Amino acid sequence: MIGVPAGFVNVVESKERLLETCLRYRVQAILAMGRKGGSNVAAAICNALLYTAADTINPADRGWQ
């Protein structure tokens, strides 16, 4: 779960509730607590996860030379 909504009304409370729910159901999450967030933050997190995952793949295992 990536929870980084932008600063709208009750955003802090929404993020706290999301955190509680993720903890209750043991869902892994990346949350930006406070008022910061938005689509640019979510995109940066997704890109970081993809680049990290790509570094763990051995190109030879995929037939690349």
For 1-64, give the DSSP string. -EE---S-TTHHHHHHHHHHHHHHTT---EE--SS---HHHHHHHHHHHHHHHHHTS-GGGGT-
| CA atoms of 6 and 14, how far apart (whole Å) | 11
Do the Cβ atoms of 11 and 35 come closer than 8 Å?
yes
Do the Cβ atoms of 30 and 3 come closer than 8 Å?
yes
pLDDT of residue 51: 85
What pLDDT digit, counting tens, does each position of 7-40 carry?
777 888 888 999 999 999 999 999 988 888 899 9
Q: What is the reported pTM? A: 0.71
